[in-house]
Amino acid sequence: MAQNPPKVEATVGSEEARQKGKATPDTIKIGCIAMVTKDGFPRRAEILSIKETRSGRQFYCNFDNFNKRLDEWVPVSRIDFDQDVEWPNPDKDKPKDGKGKKGSTAPSKKSQPKKSQKRPSKREQSVTSASEVTTPHPFSDTVESNQKFTPAAEESQAQTPANGEVTSTTTTRTTPAAAAAGGGGDEMDVDGEEVLRAGAAIAAPKRAETNGFSREAEIEKLRTHGSMTQNPAEISRIRNISKVQFGKHDLFPWYFSPYPEAFGMEDVMYICEFCLGYYGDFKSFSRHRTKCTLQHPPGNEIYRDESVSFFEIDGRRQRTWCRNLCLLSKMFLDHKTLYYDVDPFLFYVMTVRDDKGFHLVGYFSKEKESADGYNVACILTLPQYQRKGYGRLLIQFSYELSRIEGKLGSPEKPLSDLGLLSYRQYWGENIIDLLVGFNERDDRVTIEHISTALAMTPQDVEHTLGALRMQIYHRGEHKIVIPEKLILQWEKQKTKKRRVIDPSRIQWKPPVFTASSRTWGW
């Protein structure tokens, strides 16, 4: 008698059907898809990793149609073993003994002449490693380190006249018909064309490997993964820290951070909110808190108003504190690669004050000397303070420092998904505010005028105008128009009370560094 075939079901994104069956906490393995409780509802999730902690076994789950930031470690009690799980397909095409189906065309070592097997000298090794390995720029995984502008910025440059000059532009309120001609859609949406294709942290992939991503695929990847990187190995990295107690807040990390491996076995990691030291058990943390006397970041206070204070910290003078800050921020920044080489950077830390001290809200770092003129290398607002206007303050403060320096500023690329939205909103509101003033005075304005007035680079101005559909070509001229929808949004924002930086309160002069203080001082 013929046996019944096993129950199979095709899953989303899989090429073959998966076999389904019962599982137990001991038999379930990495790659299985099970029903896991999230926010009180059963959700379909894939098991990406399994670890043993002090409280028992935990499973790292990636939920269908959820942002990558919402991946989490779950205990056994949240997995529904009454329902069938989908087992991973066996690797039928997995090569054995390092040999695939197709033979390698590269000659073996035995077939090579003996001269070619000579071990290179140390000098030859250093030259070879320098030419073959692409070292990433600090705080970014840019595919091409020499590429200064985002694809969107290059695209907007292509819209200028052939002679490379920007003609005078006019600012007008558009009619609905003109607005339709200028383009529709969500002005603050993240376009896939604007997502920089970042590579791995060690070696950047070739451009040909990223051309396979379509615009729709990149938008979907950004929505579901919450990641700027296009490398599948980077996207699938497992978050190692489950929970962090930071002051009076409980933080749940979004991404992997290279804390010591032992901390991944703890249910909670404790971080001192003043010195940023990290501890694996509450007893050690409590003993530290009785001895820690620090009540503010270890730097010079360069700004203070009724709500916030800013401190300037030299990464060379405060190495340990700045390294701990980078480890903390890596839990919420996917493409950050710098943790230890903090000497070439200045850190501008924003805090809020109370009777217990100055509490960390966010920060941005800045190269002591940037060859590309960047005024921000890395920027972060901690999750408990997001959506409260603090990110805008950080951005505004970075541009106020650029004004004092007499330079045009721009953030280092690639921006994270949330960073891109924050910067585009800041750029758009300031540009519209400036253009409305020119329009009321019936003055003509150029992109260079906007760039100088706002301390922004012309590339960022063009990028914003293109993203907001404000730049059109009419009667032989490139003109700037403000759609009625954007004006209504701008008028609505003006009615809200917002925190802003008062430039007169900034007590700061551009620091001057010697060659030895810009890098490692050992």
* Active-site annotation holder among 72, 187, 273, 412: 412
ω before 176 within 30° of 0 (cis)? no
Cβ atoms within 10 Å, residue 256: 16
Query: Could you give the strand order of the β-sheet that contains 477-482, starting from the edge strand earlier in sequence?
Result: 171-173, 477-482, 471-474
C-alpha to C-alpha distance for 423 and 464, rounded to whole angstroms: 9
**Amino acid (1-letter code) at residue 13:** G
Cβ distance 11 to 63 under 8 Å? no
> Which is it for the CA torsion 405, 407, 411, 413, positive or negative?
negative
Quick one: tokens of 201? Answer: 């942290």
Cβ atoms within 10 Å, residue 154: 14
Return the C-alpha torsion angle 265, 266, 270, 276, nearest 10: 0
Cβ distance 378 to 341 under 8 Å? no
Q: What are the CA-CA distances from residue 510 to residues 309, 401, 499, 518 (Å)?
A: 18, 8, 25, 14
Which of 390, 388, 342 shows the shortest CA–CA distance to 362? 390
Helix H segments across 260-389? 282-291, 319-330
Q: What are the CA-CA distances from residue 441 to residues 366, 437, 445, 446 (Å)?
A: 37, 6, 11, 15
Which of 375, 388, 369 shows the shortest CA–CA distance to 454? 375
Which of 93, 201, 191 shows the shortest CA–CA distance to 137? 201
Helices 484-494, 417-440: crossing angle, 10 deg rounding: 100
Cβ atoms within 10 Å, residue 419: 21
Q: What are phi and psi of 471, to 5 degrees?
A: -110, 120
| Alpha-carbon Rg for the chain in angstroms | 27
- Please name the residue that has the structure tokens 């006249």: 161
Give yes or no: 193 in active site: no
Strands 269-271 and 357-367: unpaired
Cβ distance 280 to 262 under 8 Å? yes
Chain mean position to CA 151? 17
H or E element: which one contains 60?
A: strand 56-63
What is the set of active-site residues? 412
